[in-house]
Chain A
């Protein structure tokens, strides 16, 4: 059962969603590409002019853009690494459980399912310098003199990373747990017979077979982390060295009304995330090739 009728049916089934993507999606995406070639401030709309790649040339020389790009990269690198390490630990702990797994898994995925705004509110309550739980506990233990301003300059990025790690480690843990479940038990039994210890089994069996799962978790997380907006917008508003590219685009488009320049930033972010995902997909392929 293939051939003409089959292909025609497929076209009919695909038509609604393709039409939807084109009607709702194509216009906003393409207009960003077009706008990025114009000097266009909404407040001075009559002065708009075609500038070709001028916005991109300005972007390359824009120190604030480079700073934000660096802060975004730093945020992505540190938080995804921590999420991977903690997510792996959590997956191993959950995998070894016989009783009570449902309850622990449910409480583990809870942070992931929350609105980011809610997670951000929760963390601003924990980290508040006057009424926050963290400072109170540190004070009681005698570990703190002056109240620590967690969301101020210097520590703001650390706080944002902690909140992000808390919220998204569950996602990594669930993906890696699926990976652990896919490894046949016999492999470990055989290794055990050969006298391999737990560490040896972990580095020799678990890690290599987990690689494709690690790659997928890192791919999804890195793509989201690089475009992060709401957590930072609510926690710090981008102050204290936490402005990422998405927050900068929001500022440029909606505060400064710089449609042209903001669109050039959007298109650049798109290509950076695209390149990042290609890189990760390639490493994923390398990782899952049989040796």
Chain B
């Protein structure tokens, strides 16, 4: 059994090992036969090349800003909605759920064209809102799903106690429910952030200058733009993996909770 467990971890990690190896190799070393399976000789030149040749630091900044704003906006409008769905009498509840579900199912590729036209009219192409607004739309259904589940697990007696003390329902939400929901909000936040950090299709169409690109688009267009060797592409990829690596290492448990909320009984 232990052999199988180690095998599982190795299967997940081999591609990471290989891209790290390539990123630390000299471009020439990759064409040796037989190939070395570790950096020989090790070199950091690919990483300096990434930051010298391209707008990559700017791309990283763009991704951070877009992902953070998306997370904040989605939580700001999604958490009150989830609270209402979990706790209050909502009229036309099934129609509202169907609306969220419809957005979740509709092929994103079809929304891009009309949204591009709309953003162009508002002169938002190559600017943050052109990505933050569509990303918020796409992550809202998942956020509402996770948070509705989370709010419904909090004991009802909390609000009742607040109401007995003369709090209004609105006050009870902001003073009691919201602080207690910090773990649920964090879980949703991490999943939204990862989604926005990783999104490619909208970012490809809504940005047209190297300065405005996010990390995934910059990566995908790297090879064609600079005719860079594989080793440099690998170095850029490693840089873009680091934030995700940090999130997974720090919040592994929260991510698992977020993915499984709604399926647990």
Contact = CB atoms under 8 A, between A and B. Distances in A.
A28 B111 contact: yes
A27 B264 contact: no
Given A17-B78, A125-B19, A253 B9 contact: no
B259 A107 contact: no
A174 B259 contact: yes
A111 B255 CA distance: 13
Contact of B107 (A11, A171, A227): A227
Contact of B105 (A122, A139, A223, A253): A223
A270 B110 contact: yes
Interface string A1-42: 111011101111110111011001101110110000000000
Given A14-B81, A223-B105, A249-B107, A122 B169 contact: no
B182 interface: no
Interface string A89-124: 110011011000011111111110111111101110
Contacts of B137: 20-21, 24-25
Interface majority SS on A: helix, strand, loop or mixed? helix
Contact of B265 (A24, A128, A182, A262): A182
A115 B220 CA distance: 11
Contacts of B102: 29
B18 A126 contact: yes
Contacts of A107: 9, 12-13
Contacts of A259: 113
Contacts of B192: none
Interface in B1-39: 1, 4-5, 8-9, 11-16, 18-19, 22, 30-31, 34-35, 37
A79 interface: no
Nearest to A108: B12
Interface string A213-241: 10010000001000101100110000000
B84 A13 contact: yes
A239 to B, nearest CB: 16
A269 interface: yes
B105 A277 contact: yes
Nearest to A288: B265
Contacts of A28: 110-115, 118
B79 to A, nearest CB: 9
A178 interface: yes
Nearest to B134: A24
Contacts, number: 259
B241 interface: yes
A174 B256 contact: yes
A115 B244 CA distance: 9
Contact of A131 (B31, B112, B160): B31
Interface residues of A, number: 92
A266 interface: yes
A140 interface: yes
B82 to A, nearest CB: 9
Interface string B184-196: 0000000000100
Interface in A131-190: 131, 133, 136, 139-140, 166, 170-171, 174-175, 177-179, 182
10 contacts: A1-B169, A10-B89, A17-B80, A27-B118, A111-B15, A125-B18, A174-B256, A175-B259, A178-B260, A223-B105
Closest 9 CB pairs of A and B: A266-B110, A178-B260, A10-B88, A28-B114, A13-B80, A115-B198, A28-B111, A13-B84, A10-B84
Given A18-B96, A27-B115, A29-B111, 18 more contacts: A10-B91, A13-B88, A14-B90, A17-B77, A21-B99, A25-B103, A106-B252, A110-B244, A113-B244, A114-B241, A118-B219, A121-B234, A122-B19, A230-B200, A233-B220, A249-B107, A254-B205, A270-B107
Interface of A: 1-3, 5-7, 9-14, 16-18, 20-21, 24-25, 27-29, 31-32, 89-90, 93-94, 96-97, 102-111, 113-119, 121-123, 125-126, 128, 130-131, 133, 136, 139-140, 166, 170-171, 174-175, 177-179, 182, 212-213, 216, 223, 227, 229-230, 233-234, 246, 249-250, 253-254, 259, 262-263, 266-267, 269-270, 273-274, 277
Interface of B: 1, 4-5, 8-9, 11-16, 18-19, 22, 30-31, 34-35, 37, 76-78, 80-81, 83-85, 88-91, 96, 99-100, 102-103, 105-115, 118, 133-134, 136-137, 140, 144, 159-160, 163, 169-170, 173, 194, 197-198, 200-201, 205, 215-217, 219-220, 230, 233-234, 237, 240-241, 244-245, 247-249, 252, 255-256, 259-260, 263-265
